[in-house]
RNA sequence: CGGGAGGUAGUUCAGCCCGGUAGAAUACCUGGUUUGGGACCAGGGGGUCGCAGGUUCGAAUCCUGUCCUCCCGACCA
């Protein structure tokens, strides 16, 4: 057992790190807070990206690419946005190195190569994009402008964690411009639905849709919509956000258009994004002490086939069956890998692919050939059974769908069990410490109370759920009147 | 950024207190036997001890600085 994984019970954080590192998703790098995404992890991201990209295009968006650098003067144009990100920006101040005269073989920053104006490495791209949109929008005929970009951004976080919070991360950011407020709000909500659809139906992760409180709102937004997921340790994870930006950026960057009546007005904006953080959520929500468990729809390898043989003659017979099967599965668009590497024995491969979270494993040996069957093992339940070679491709197809559905159901059952109402402060604190998860409680609606609760319990308001049930009640902390419950949790 | 732990073979770690030939397991290479849940035997290769200074006849070991990682906290649109 050279690759043992720390159990969740023993050390949840270490368990998470073990899964990422030993599952081959990512590695630490020589750069503080930055990780290397390894081929297996990147294949997972590519699958996620491809699905999302299609969803964006199906809803009328197109891709473009904007610069990594933002001149400081542009960055500071939208005041609240700039202020919100100021503390975590990387800044380029020089453009040249030179030989260090006092240390042979070393380089130093050339003081003569100081930039006139510093460049901010984008922590988000609103500034550079809205500066560009100014030149693209004159008339209502130019609207709506529906653009997405796939990019990297940098946020100089104090404390980083693989995938969940890295100094540099990959994401997509949509930036749209509209003629009316109503249209922009519809867009904001539409993209939230796209995210929820993707995370639930492709990542098998149930989410709660809602809006953020003013405290938790995106810097520069009028309203921030979000989807919140629950991890196995009872902590919440913000899985995606969609912002209604009002006319804030249009005003900051002077983006006006003429409407049908030749009346000038500022455009209405949205922005929305999900990042490689989703991979962290995927890992934390589904995996177990034996390794990753990946949902079939986005798993880099959906089916792995392991041959078991005692001689090259046996191997040849197995190859013949497997090659036909691989051909069949590929024809059905199933991502299949035949691992006939003779360096590793079957038992080793079983453990390895369990660690990597491959949803379905097929083992085939002489015994199976004689009976015209294969052994099929599911990663999610660890169940094994013999299945006839006849119609196996259909069986696999169905099994992948079953696994996908089962993973979602399991995560949803856990999430639902961990949504609890609290009506007294004692219950609230007790639930946070023992049961954990989402807690539905009344709140008096003030930022001060929210802040106080965070201070006392480390729990934040994750969101005010959409279409929230209205009911009379009293605030969990202050006892003041409240009209609805909001969703509290400790969060990543 | 504060507190704690750590960095020695590809990996996990011992050695450090008390300075004196760089170690184990595993992985890797070769050959053979194996193969239905992380195989076994024999042989072999692999290290600027994170980096930079200092003390010393001599530093993985002592001292100073620095970089990186993990855990807890603060921060986190």
pLDDT of res. A11: 86
Mean pLDDT of A257-283: 97
Q: How far is the CA of A385 from the C1' of B32 (A)?
A: 35
Structural tokens at position A355: 């660690």
Among A3, A230, A255, A27, residue whose Cα is nearest residue A139:
A255
Query: Does residue A1 carry a pLDDT above 60?
Result: no
Provide the positions of strand B that have an atom within 7 A of a protein CB: 1-2, 10-11, 26-29, 34-39, 67-77
Name the protein residue, with chain letter, whose CA is nearest the C1' of B37.
A347
Closest-lying nucleotide for A347 based on CA to C1' = B37
Q: How far is the CA of A353 from the C1' of B39 (A)?
A: 18
CA distance A385 to A392: 13
Q: How far is the CA of A18 from the C1' of B10 (A)?
A: 17
Closest-lying nucleotide for A343 based on CA to C1' = B35
Q: How far is the CA of A435 from the C1' of B40 (A)?
A: 49
Sheet holding A69-71, edge to edge: A69-71, A114-121, A90-94
Containing A175, the helix (H) or strand (E) segment is strand A168-178
Query: Does residue A2 carry a pLDDT above 70?
Result: no
Paired with A228 in beta bridges are A208, A238
Q: Is A109 within 8 Å of A158 (Cβ atoms)?
A: no
- pLDDT-derived band at A3, boundaries 50, 70, 90: low
Closest-lying nucleotide for A155 based on CA to C1' = B76
Q: How far is the CA of A100 from the C1' of B53 (A)?
A: 18
Q: What percent of chain A has pLDDT over 70?
A: 99
Closest-lying nucleotide for A35 based on CA to C1' = B69
Q: How far is the CA of A159 from the C1' of B72 (A)?
A: 11
Query: Does residue A421 carry a pLDDT above 50?
Result: yes
Closest-lying nucleotide for A243 based on CA to C1' = B77
What are the backbone angles phi and psi of residue A137, rounded to the nearest 5°? -115, 120
Q: Is A281 within 8 Å of A159 (Cβ atoms)?
A: no
Closest-lying nucleotide for A369 based on CA to C1' = B36
Mean pLDDT of A474-489: 96
- Expressed in angstroms, the distance from the first to the final Cα of chain A is 31
Is there a cis peptide before residue A144, judged by omega within 30 degrees of 0? yes
pTM: 0.96
Query: Does residue A237 carry a pLDDT above 50?
Result: yes
Q: How far is the CA of A114 from the C1' of B65 (A)?
A: 28
Name the protein residue, with chain letter, whose CA is nearest the C1' of B71.
A13
Note the ipTM here. Answer: 0.91
Q: Give chain A's mean pLDDT.
A: 94
Chain-centroid distance, C-alpha A292: 16
Q: What percent of chain A has pLDDT over 90?
A: 88
Between the alpha carbon of residue A447 and those of residues A83, A130, A214, A243, A460, the distances in Å are: 19, 30, 7, 20, 11
Per-residue pLDDT reduced to its tens digit, A34-59: 898 999 999 999 999 999 999 999 99
Query: Does residue A294 carry a pLDDT above 60?
Result: yes
Q: Name the CA dihedral angle for A340, A341, A347, A353, rounded to a multiple of 10 degrees.
A: -80
Q: How far is the CA of A31 from the C1' of B48 (A)?
A: 21
Who has greater pLDDT, A110 or A49? A49
- pLDDT-derived band at A183, boundaries 50, 70, 90: very high
- pLDDT-derived band at A30, boundaries 50, 70, 90: confident
Q: How far is the CA of A162 from the C1' of B74 (A)?
A: 20
Closest-lying nucleotide for A361 based on CA to C1' = B37
Q: Is A277 within 8 Å of A229 (Cβ atoms)?
A: no
């Amino acid at each position: 057992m050279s690759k043992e994984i720390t159990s969740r019970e023993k050390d949840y954080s270490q368990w998470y790190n073990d899964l990422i590192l030993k599952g081959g998703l990512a590695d630490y790098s020589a750069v503080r807070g930055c990780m290397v995404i390894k081929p297996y992890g990147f294949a997972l991201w590519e699958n996620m990206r491809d699905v999302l990209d299609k969803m964006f295009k199906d809803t009328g968006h197109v891709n473009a690419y904007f610069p990594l650098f933002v001149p400081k003067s542009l960055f500071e144009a939208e005041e609240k946005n700039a202020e919100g990100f100021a503390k975590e920006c990387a800044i380029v101040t020089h453009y040249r190195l030179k030989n260090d005269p006092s240390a042979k073989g070393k380089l130093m920053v050339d003081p003569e190569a100081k930039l006139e104006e510093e460049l901010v490495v984008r922590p988000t791209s609103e500034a550079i994009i809205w500066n560009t949109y100014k030149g693209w929008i004159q008339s209502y005929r130019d609207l709506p402008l529906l653009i997405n970009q796939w990019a990297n951004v940098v946020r100089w976080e104090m404390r980083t964690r693989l995938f969940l919070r890295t100094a540099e991360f990959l994401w997509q950011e949509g930036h749209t411009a509209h003629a009316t407020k109503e249209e922009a709000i519809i867009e904001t909500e539409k993209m939230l639905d796209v995210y929820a659809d993707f995370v639930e139906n492709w990542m098998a992760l149930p989410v709660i849709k809602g809006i953020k409180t003013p405290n938790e709102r995106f810097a520069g937004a009028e309203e921030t919509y979000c989807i919140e997921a629950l991890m196995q340790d009872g902590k919440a994870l913000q899985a995606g956000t969609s912002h209604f930006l009002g006319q804030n950026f249009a005003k900051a960057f002077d983006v006006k258009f003429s409407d049908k009546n030749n009346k000038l007005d500022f455009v209405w904006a949205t922005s929305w994004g999900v990042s490689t953080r989703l991979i962290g959520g995927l890992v934390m929500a589904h995996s177990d002490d034996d390794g990753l468990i990946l949902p079939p729809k986005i798993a880099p390898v959906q089916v792995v086939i392991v041959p078991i043989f005692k001689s090259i003659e046996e191997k040849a017979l197995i190859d013949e069956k497997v090659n036909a099967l691989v051909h069949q599965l590929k024809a059905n668009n199933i991502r299949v890998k035949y691992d006939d590497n003779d360096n590793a024995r079957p038992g080793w491969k079983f453990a390895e692919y369990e660690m990597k979270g491959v949803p379905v494993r097929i083992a085939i040996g002489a015994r199976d050939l004689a009976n015209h069957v294969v052994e099929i093992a599911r990663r999610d339940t660890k169940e094994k059974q013999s299945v006839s070679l006849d119609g196996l491709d259909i069986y696999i197809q169905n099994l992948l769908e079953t696994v996908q559905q089962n993973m979602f159901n399991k995560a949803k059952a856990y999430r639902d069990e961990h949504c609890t109402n609290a009506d007294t402060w004692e219950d609230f604190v007790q639930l946070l410490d023992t049961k954990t998860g989402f807690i539905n409680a009344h709140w008096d609606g003030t930022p001060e109370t929210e802040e106080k609760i965070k201070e006392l319990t480390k729990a934040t308001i994750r969101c005010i759920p959409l279409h929230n049930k209205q009911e009379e009640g009293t605030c969990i902390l202050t006892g003041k009147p409240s009209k609805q419950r909001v969703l509290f949790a400790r969060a990543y």
